[in-house]
Structure 1
């Protein structure tokens, strides 16, 4: 039975006991030694596979090359004063030197996030809970944790992030969603290590304090920082836990303080937030509320890609812009204003825009999927694909509009009616109107083809093909599916060696 906590600002004259502060309540949930349920264990394994899939697929993309090159400047040298064995980087050859865990969290976090292709949870706030895995796994490898330890940590990280995402909206105040990752990753690391509640409390406060950023990283001409942002939060979480373990304290109360997050970054001193958390002894099941992506694009685009593919099969004439007068997508407030024409971003219609911008443009994504009947994590974003004249012509006929009913369903807490799609009206030049709708993506738990272990493995094989040797693919899949059995010091086996040369970035300061 969950317990709902009311969170508000307290003046400096008011006394708010530490145990009543949200950061402390989050820490208490993380450190509650409740057993992890079998279906949660199953999903943790699925998400480790999922993260590995998208990380491997992005190994030689610019942001990953840069982050990896930085991390490799911080190697853990045996006998060099380090207390752990270091953490491994995705793609690194077997036997390659390990790096300090905060830098592995950084490099692997960028690799996981770059393609916008891993899991998601959408509620009051937006999130990609799989961003918790790189920092938790990095620390687990460094300290020699067991598979069961890692499962416990990941389950806790997901629980805290999902609970925060359900209760506290950041984006309405233009604060980026990574402000929930700092606390959740810190909580997950604390659970992994079996730390006490006070230490995790201090780490959560420090991590939140250092990970509040604006959403300009997702507005206008979207830069490569978009992939780095959650990795930065993961890196800060590792460092926050390290500081807390050394007895260092954090700003308190971080959420409720007179000059705290709620008062100055969110809805202000008069605001009230309701955050529901598991009761003591209650299992951490939040990972089961989350869902992954079949396509490399913003989550709100997943259902639209599936609908566009369906329309391509049923109405192939729609691929020709000469046949189409207009395309009107009626959808939720978020889809319209963040990735739709309601954002008023000219870049969302610009064929020279960056990949980071195009994967946040529903007009572009719907157009390409409608014309191709498919979506590819590389080819669909290629400059020559975006610049195709017939695509540009059709693309500029696509607009979005908020529909109150789809907005209501988007925000519904009832999973049976919560929706991330909408309806589409395509008016042809001869006056014919074609309409269709979709509520959730095909891969969603309530979709046409829900993802299960088989689909996660297929996704991994597809993205690893040509980048990882066949025998290495099989070794990894065998190992990760035995995660609960892995003993202390064996988590390095969850790394994957690439069969291609890993590129290096230009030299920086390090």
Structure 2
């Protein structure tokens, strides 16, 4: 592939996207992609009964639409509506994967919904789906590396608009010209504000990327039908670099499809930067068996990104906790839940758990501060120190640099299956197993074999 140096950046990107093939994927990348799909589908199934997801389902059914693409849990609608609903289900628990750039963190498995919708829409096979998904991962992660936007007041979903459009357009088999238009339209149209994740958090925290992905899917459909977008979306007057990101460069000719292998899986249902501290606190809890009533304080020293986003730093205080969206972005709450309950899973975000006196009291005893040495080690490590001081003066501590699921201790398929089985415990076990086996063999199937199974999901109510 040869890219003209006189072409615009989006044209260079589209040239690269259009030339990617399944054979460009390494065995490691294929394995990682399938693991992220398994993990994300588990998250989606686990979220089907959550109120915002049910509300979006109700809205989607009311809107209707041509039955072209499957909804997880049954029914069909248009590709863009399906992208929003399925993406909301994947994202709502805040339990899907993450990618850590130095100054940006994103959740690239949010791209599964648009690429899956695009693949089903055109009758693609597993090879085409996996290639499109790898493209979406690569584009979003590389833009996160070189063009972070968080400190400029924009959300990490901004880079995702380019990735979701690139992946969906490729999966749909669009031409090189059409891919450029899809990316340009999505990149121009979806630049979300970081207020999504600061201050008093709302349902939108879990819906911002599904909305961006829906827009990227819509942009791909527009491009398919001949609608054009601004070809200088990156470098033009008032474009992405001029208005938001500042100057950057990616030589797409030299890019591979391996960024997915650098993504990490959540062990706990908690914001990604909390994972090592939760694991460390649980190790202290199990080792010393200190009753929560005897704790005077829990002191966490961590890296600056964790402090600023979930520790009470620049994105707001984290000790007034009233509902899920605040709880799963509060280190004091998540650490308290881990210590009191021995885990952090969806159950720890039930409304009656959040307001209970034991956790509300303990989270007030959690102090979080940043450390420059730990900050320098991020994102290669997720370093922190956790110290518990008891009321009688005993002090115990532990230092962590990673957790199970981090890139230095990656989650195996068996570990992912444990999480998947827990999240899918309320659906038919035979169906859950068949979905997992189908995902494990994605490269051998037509994508509608997976979506047909996802459409059969029904929540089995507990008899008790």
What TM-score range do you get, normalising by the shorter chain? over 0.9
Written as runs of structure 1 = structure 2, the 5 A alignment for 1:16-415 is 19-21=7-9, 23-34=10-21, 35=23, 36-75=25-64, 77=66, 86-92=68-74, 96=75, 98-123=76-101, 124-266=103-245, 271-275=246-250, 277=252, 279=254, 283-317=256-290, 319-320=292-293, 322-324=294-296, 326-343=297-314, 345-346=316-317, 348-351=318-321, 353-378=322-347, 380-411=348-379
**Kept in 2: contact 1:203–1:240 (CA 8 A):** yes
**Kept in 2: contact 1:71–1:106 (CA 8 A):** no
Distance in 2 between the 1:343 and 1:399 partners?
15
Question: How much does 1:339 deviate?
Answer: 0.4
The 3-state SS of whatever aligns with 1:400 is: strand
What corresponds to 2:381 in structure 1? 419
Distance in 2 between the 1:394 and 1:343 partners?
23
Written as runs of structure 1 = structure 2, the 5 A alignment for 1:424-463 is 424-447=386-409, 450-463=410-423
**Residue 290 to residue 323, structure 1, CA distance change in 2 (3 Å):** closer
**Residue 501 to residue 311, structure 1, CA distance change in 2 (3 Å):** closer
**Kept in 2: contact 1:117–1:296 (CA 8 A):** yes
User: How much is the aligned-residue C-alpha RMSD, in angstroms?
Assistant: 2.3
Question: How much does 1:164 deviate?
Answer: 0.8
Q: Which runs of 5+ in 2 are unaligned?
A: none
The 3-state SS of whatever aligns with 2:396 is: strand
Please say which of residues 327-336 and 62-71 is displaced more in the overlay.
62-71
Question: How much does 1:192 deviate?
Answer: 1.4
Higher relative contact order (CA 8 A, sep 6+): 1
Partner deviation per Cα, 1:431-479 (whole Å, 9 max, x = no partner): 33322111112222313xx31211222222111112x112211221222
Partner deviation per Cα, 1:4-37 (whole Å, 9 max, x = no partner): x9xxxxxxxxxx976242x223223322234222
Partner deviation per Cα, 1:295-349 (whole Å, 9 max, x = no partner): 11110111121111101111221522x442x332111111111100224734x21
Distance in 2 between the 1:496 and 1:436 partners?
45
The 3-state SS of whatever aligns with 1:250 is: coil
**Residue 408 to residue 275, structure 1, CA distance change in 2 (3 Å):** farther
Question: How much does 1:405 deviate?
Answer: 1.1
Partner deviation per Cα, 1:126-154 (whole Å, 9 max, x = no partner): 10000001011011112111111111111
Q: Whose helix proportion is higher, 1 or 2?
A: 2
Distance in 1 between the 2:141 and 2:295 partners?
44
**Kept in 1: contact 2:435–2:454 (CA 8 A):** yes
Distance in 2 between the 1:76 and 1:103 partners?
8
**Kept in 1: contact 2:136–2:167 (CA 8 A):** yes
Question: How much does 1:488 deviate?
Answer: 6.8
**Kept in 1: contact 2:125–2:447 (CA 8 A):** yes
Distance in 2 between the 1:164 and 1:494 partners?
34
Q: Does 1:495 align with 2:463?
A: no
**Kept in 2: contact 1:153–1:192 (CA 8 A):** yes
Question: How much does 1:243 deviate?
Answer: 1.3
Shift >6 Å, 4+ stretches = none
Distance in 1 between the 2:181 and 2:334 partners?
43
Between Structure 1 and Structure 2, how many residues are aligned?
Answer: 457
Question: How much does 1:489 deviate?
Answer: 4.8
Question: How much does 1:387 deviate?
Answer: 3.1
Normalised by the size of structure 1, how large is the TM-score? 0.84
**Kept in 2: contact 1:145–1:491 (CA 8 A):** no
Q: Does 1:480 align with 2:439?
A: yes
